[in-house]
Structure 1
Amino acid sequence: MKNYLFVLIAFLLFGANVSAQEVLQLNLQETISYALENNVDAKNAKLELMIAEATVKEETSKGLPQINGSFNLNYNPSIPVVFLPNEPPFGDPNIDSDVIPARFGVSYQSGLSATASQMIFDGSFFVGLRAAKTLRELTQYDEIKTQNDVIENVKKAFFGVLVNQERIKLAEANLTRIDSLLDETKALNEAGFTEKIEVSRIQVQRNNTYTQVERSKTAYEISKQLLKIQMGLPKEYDIEITETLAELNPQSELEELMSMEGMYRVEVSQLEKNIELVGLDLKNNTVQYMPSIDFNANYQRSGAANSFSNLYQSRNWFSSSLLGVTMTIPIFDGLAKSARIQKNRVQLQQLENQMAFLDDNIALEIYEAKTNLRNDLHILEVQRENMDLAQEVYDISKIKYNEGVGSNLEVVEADAALIEAEINYLAALYDGLVSKVNLEKALGILQIAK
């Protein structure tokens, strides 16, 4: 009864844990689509674009009328004293002094006013507006670059999960094979046909293979967690991949990649926009030598009284207004604008040098990526052939052992060689997949690559 209750409680706890973790079945394109919406960098890139849109509106507002209102209420506990000369015709002979103190002002003052200004001409405004729009375009390219980085990281993590799945399958097949051999050897030992050392030798190999299975499972779980982080997937979800490596990497696609010349890279557009921004900054510093003209208007109502109760009576309030045009003419700023212009010209030269270097670097990146992929595919083919040969050697060694013409040591060594060949094959497979993604990035087709 106690055992039954223990099993029931364990089942309920296990079932609750499984139901709490929802499993998402995804293929590569669905994984990428999810990541582009939920990855932290991708979301921040979208927010940065919203900031750029707001910046354009902010710059546009500088060319619109600026209107402000104000209200003030002042109380003078002690009215200031003004001294007047005690001389005719305002002198007072009753005061024995050469000055007369007089208080000018009232205890309470209040006012309402509205001011308006409108820019008529300012060269910096038009340059700044164009710079804000260029910044928005640069932010759009930055978002594309971020999306490319997200796609690259997701694809590499996705392939890592698939490779670790294959690693588990091979490791478990190896364990099944060595378990079968161990059972056969134990039976032969019990029947007196083999020595105990042969059982021990296979047991050691079995333990090593079991360790390999556990490591494969651990690597698989870690690779899934990495993929979930790249996707922005909450930890309470699990992933089940619905595609295989063969479906994702047909030979025809690899051949097409190797023959492509590449497309326009977003990094070029980013650098072009940076050059345009520096050019606009240069233009902005140049136009600051020109005068700026603004229209100003003001209207206000003011009132005053010696007591607060009389302050807001209409007879104590008066109006005034002002209309005017202000022209600001720069004369001398200590050569600050000249220094900024010189700095902008040097910055332009730097960016132009980077543009020439970027073109050469992209060409080198494509060449290097194609060379690496070609080499990795060749190594993968060699490792696949090596794995097949190792399997053949194991099969022959096993047949010879079963027929009594081979040794137990030969079978163990052949099994170890087969496991090593499988590990090397999987490593070569992952290297080839990473090289494929690197080539897609170098060619500028990550956004459209399947």
Structure 2
Amino acid sequence: MRKNILSILAFCFFGISTLPAQNLPDGGAGEVLTLEICVKTALENNASIKKARLDERSARFQKKEIIGSGLPQLKAYGNYNNFLDIYPQGIPGGLFDPDADPNQINVIAFGVPQSVRGGLELTQLVYSQSYLVGLKAAHTAEEFYHFLSLQTEDDVIYDVVMNYYNVMAAELQMESLKANHDKLSRLKTIIQSQVDNDLARRIDLNRIIVNMTTLETEMDNLEIGVEQRTNYLKILMGIPVDLPVKLAPEGLDLNSKVYQSITLDADISNRYDLKVMDKRKELNKLDIKNTMAGYYPTLAAFMDLNYNAFSNRFDFLAASHTWYRGTLLGVQLNIPVFDGFQRKNKIAQAKVTSEQLEWDERVMRETVNAEYLNATKKMNNSLKGLLAQKDNLALSEQVFAQTEGLYKEGMAPLTDLLDSELALREARSAYYRQAVNVKTAQADLLKSTGNIKNLIN
């Protein structure tokens, strides 16, 4: 099949003249945009791409946040207490007075009405299995969002390319209709003169007018479609919809990039959706490890340095007030013992998700392979169809020219001329559509192998 494709393409590339660089409908002064400019503008301004890049940026900050949780944590604290009523305490009788009845309970107030405390607390995580797994997960998540951002770029490029070619096809169709309308307009002038001189029938003139009206209606409808597609292309590019633009007609030429795209091997490893799926599976495995890390003990060291002051009234700001220093140094060990099987069931849920991702990946890979086969078949058929439409267009132009000459000599009826004009119009439209099919097939083939950026590189 590949040899067949290459032979057809070689004939197309060297044997088919490119589409004529016709003037596009003049919609006012506006910048002329090539496909490359459209794609690059979309990569810079498209809202979906910007959001994906923000997600990627957020993932980098999240990674730094997790790294920071393993660094020393230092905090300052302070508190002021004013006991309007000092908490009472009950003590056995005779504790301070040997002569008191030991069976009685004495109630006294311990403490002073006001106190102030301020200090610094330093903690350092010494060991946490969950933290180590979290670092790996943060790095994987960063890669996940990076590939997701690249996948979004590929999707936007594909949308821009397909919409660009659709607009170009409509523009070329509009130009074809205008060319036919001009021919009918010139013919109308001739027949009008003949009718005025009783050399032609009025019905022949009416037929011309009916055909011209039909063309004008088609052009009006096509103009609406062109404007709608162009506005959607502007949205994809992230530019104002009221900005006047024109598309460069050379976008439909058959160039060397068509040849390069069709010689690509069936290598789907460059597809970012598959890389995103791999990262999703990796994140799920790390989620299982992180849950299992909850069975491991954690160890942290801490130190507390503080100063305390006590008084019966608020005079802590006095220079003569005495402050008492306290220092605490220690380690804290937490050992999970029993959590009601919460972690066990959470791990089971994650394993079910892992199985679901395996099935998703299997379906995705089959879909990707099908996309490649379909794109290859579409490219092969579209190139064959373009050869046929080129010959058909040349034949239609020849038939119309001959019929027009015969009609002017009075050797062919007007019906034959109108029929040949309609056939030429349809042949030209079919040729333009097929040229668009070749370019869209190229985009499909590049996208199926993850090489859609080759269109602009």
Q: TM > 0.5 between the two?
A: yes
Q: Please say if 1:300 is aligned against 2:306.
A: yes
Q: Please say if 1:352 is aligned against 2:358.
A: yes
Q: In the alignment, residue 304 of structure 1 is paired with which amino acid?
A: F
Contact 1:108 1:311 in 2 (8 A): no
Q: CA deviation at 1:269?
A: 1.7
Which secondary structure state, in structure 2, belongs to the residue aligned with residue 308 of structure 1?
A: coil
Which secondary structure state, in structure 2, belongs to the residue aligned with residue 240 of structure 1?
A: strand
Q: CA deviation at 1:256?
A: 3.8
Residue in 2 aligned with 1:320? 326
- Larger CA deviation: 101-110 vs 320-329: 101-110
- Change in 2 beyond 3 A, CA 1:134/1:428: same
Q: In the alignment, residue 156 of structure 1 is paired with which amino acid?
A: M
Deviations, residues 122-163 of structure 1 (Å, cap 9, x unaligned): 111111001100111111111111111111111112222322
Q: Please say if 1:336 is aligned against 2:336.
A: no
RMSD, aligned CA: 2.7
Residue in 1 aligned with 2:397? 391
Map 1:6-405 to 2 at 5 A.
23-84=30-91, 90=97, 100-247=106-253, 249-250=254-255, 252-263=256-267, 264=269, 265-309=271-315, 315-405=321-411
Higher-RCO chain (CA-CA 8 Å, sequence separation at least 6): 2
Deviations, residues 31-51 of structure 1 (Å, cap 9, x unaligned): 222211111111122211111
Map 1:387-426 to 2 at 5 A.
387-426=393-432
Contact 2:82 2:113 in 1 (8 A): yes
Flag structure 1 segments of 5+ consecutive residues without an equivalent. Answer: 1-17
Flag structure 2 segments of 5+ consecutive residues without an equivalent. Answer: 1-25
Contact 2:35 2:251 in 1 (8 A): no
Residue in 2 aligned with 1:448? 454
Which secondary structure state, in structure 2, belongs to the residue aligned with residue 294 of structure 1?
A: strand
Q: CA deviation at 1:215?
A: 2.8
Distance in 2, matches of 1:314 and 1:246, equals 91
Q: CA deviation at 1:179?
A: 0.2
- Change in 2 beyond 3 A, CA 1:207/1:243: closer
Q: In the alignment, residue 411 of structure 2 is paired with which amino acid?
A: V
- Change in 2 beyond 3 A, CA 1:82/1:245: closer
Contact 1:38 1:233 in 2 (8 A): yes
Give the TM-score of the pair, scaled to structure 2: 0.85
Which secondary structure state, in structure 2, belongs to the residue aligned with residue 448 of structure 1?
A: helix
Deviations, residues 96-139 of structure 1 (Å, cap 9, x unaligned): x9655433333322210211110111111111001100111111
Which secondary structure state, in structure 2, belongs to the residue aligned with residue 298 of structure 1?
A: strand
Distance in 1, matches of 2:219 and 2:96, equals 115
- Change in 2 beyond 3 A, CA 1:107/1:245: same
- Change in 2 beyond 3 A, CA 1:72/1:88: closer
Q: CA deviation at 1:83?
A: 4.4
Contact 1:262 1:444 in 2 (8 A): no
- Percentage of identical aligned residues: 25
Distance in 2, matches of 1:397 and 1:25, equals 38
Q: CA deviation at 1:402?
A: 1.7
- Change in 2 beyond 3 A, CA 1:255/1:22: closer
Distance in 2, matches of 1:310 and 1:211, equals 92
Contact 1:150 1:230 in 2 (8 A): yes
Residue in 1 aligned with 2:22? none
Which secondary structure state, in structure 2, belongs to the residue aligned with residue 109 of structure 1?
A: strand
Contact 1:113 1:299 in 2 (8 A): yes
Q: In the alignment, residue 436 of structure 1 is paired with which amino acid?
A: Q
Give the TM-score of the pair, scaled to structure 1: 0.87
Q: In the alignment, residue 309 of structure 1 is paired with which amino acid?
A: D
